[in-house]
Amino acid sequence: MIPPERRAAAASAPQPRIGYWVGRLERALRRRLAAAVGRSGLTVAQFTALSVLQGRGPLSNAQLARRSLVSPQAMNEIIKALGRRHLVMRRADPLHGRIVLMSLTPKGARLLRRCDRAVQRAEEGMLGPLSAAERARFHALLRECAVRLEGHGARA
């Protein structure tokens, strides 16, 4: 049993900042995602790029980098690795001859479906105790916070 004076001290101790919990969550989730997609030979950055291409493709390197939260230089390396595995294909943009567009190959789409199931299980481990309404609210709150910090929402 915890003595009352220790309980009172713990209750009055300063709580970690929200940024601490966001960082801790990001690191824990990244480890889980790395393990989930690593079984298919992908990195989290490669999985993210494939996911973005599925949802938004075809995209240029710069567009894909921005949406995948990496630099264009890093995206060049990611695309090279995915291209060697025939998971993405490149083609010239019909409107801008100097721009190359990336899209998923059928093999890339199949691998992404397999990884999506593994990622869903990892996310379920994080969200497990939350109700559907709580999950929807949590998602909306995370999105709102990100949009505000990125400068697209209201400023403080």
- Per DSSP, 14 falls in state P
Tell me which residue has tokens 């309980």.
Answer: 7
Is-contact 145 137, C-beta < 8 A?
A: no
Q: Where are the domains of the chain?
A: 35-149
Are the CB atoms for 107 and 41 separated by under 8 Å? no
Architecture of domain 35-149: Orthogonal Bundle (1.10)
CA atoms of 149 and 11, how far apart (whole Å): 30
How would you class 83 by CB atoms within 10 Å of its CB: exposed for 0-12, middle for 13-18, buried for 19 or more? middle
DSSP state of 39: T
Distances (CA, A) of 58 to 15, 30, 61, 75, 88: 45, 26, 10, 14, 10
**What is the pTM for the complete model shown?**
0.81
Over residues 108-128, the mean pLDDT reads 94
Residue 80 near residue 124, CB atoms below 8 Å: no
Mean pLDDT of 107-116: 96
What whole-number distance in Å separates Cα of residue 22 and Cα of residue 139?
Answer: 13
Above 50 in pLDDT, residue 68? Answer: yes
pLDDT tier, 84 (very low <50, low <70, confident <90, very high otherwise): very high
Map residue 92 onto helix, strand or coil: strand
